[in-house]
Amino acid sequence: MKLKLVFKENLVKNAILLTALTILRLPIQNYIENSGLETHKDLAGYVLAAVSIISVLAGFGSFGFKYVKMDLKNPYQTYFAHILTGTLLFVIGISLIMTWKLISLIMGPFLLMDITLLLLYLACAGYDYWDLVAACKES
């Protein structure tokens, strides 16, 4: 059935995103560490504010998107949905990685924040999957 394929595609999309974010974590971390923000923590706060705005905008897009508005039996619309939600989840992930590193520069290591940011990303990916399940039930 076509809907089973949509679920598999969604799982592949999320696996690709997690792999890409895992690979990009170190270059992002190194870039921020070498940017001079450690010596200018006030600037790190401004960068954190900008990154937070980007994350919120991507979150609005991610939570505002509804698979139910798409024709999941149409491959073009399905791939568009995967690309759109994947892009938004990628931006959220990058923003959360940058938030994690900037907070650690400003405050030092903070395990509770690390766990919170990870749970936030997993919740966003989980919402995407839940929305897809709801849309498939209506189809």
- 24-40: pLDDT as tens digits: 999 999 999 899 888 88
Confidence of residue 41 (pLDDT cuts 50, 70, 90): confident
Quick check: 35 and 98 in contact, CB under 8 A? no
Contacts of 91 (CB under 8 A, 6+ apart): 54, 55, 58
Quick check: 10 and 125 in contact, CB under 8 A? no
Report the pLDDT value the prediction gives residue 40, as an integer from 0 to 100. Answer: 84
Report the pLDDT value the prediction gives residue 42, as an integer from 0 to 100. Answer: 84
pLDDT per position as a tens digit, 56-89: 999 999 999 999 999 888 999 999 999 999 999 9
DSSP-derived letter for residue 37 is T
Domain total of the chain: 1
Report the pLDDT value the prediction gives residue 19, as an integer from 0 to 100. Answer: 96
What range does the domain containing 49 cover? 2-138
Report the pLDDT value the prediction gives residue 130, as an integer from 0 to 100. Answer: 94
pTM: 0.92
- For residues 36 and 12, the model is more confident at 12
Separation CA 8–CA 22 (nearest Å) = 21
Report the pLDDT value the prediction gives residue 3, as an integer from 0 to 100. Answer: 77
pLDDT per position as a tens digit, 119-139: 999 999 999 999 999 998 877
What values do phi and psi take at 40, rounded to 5? -125, 70
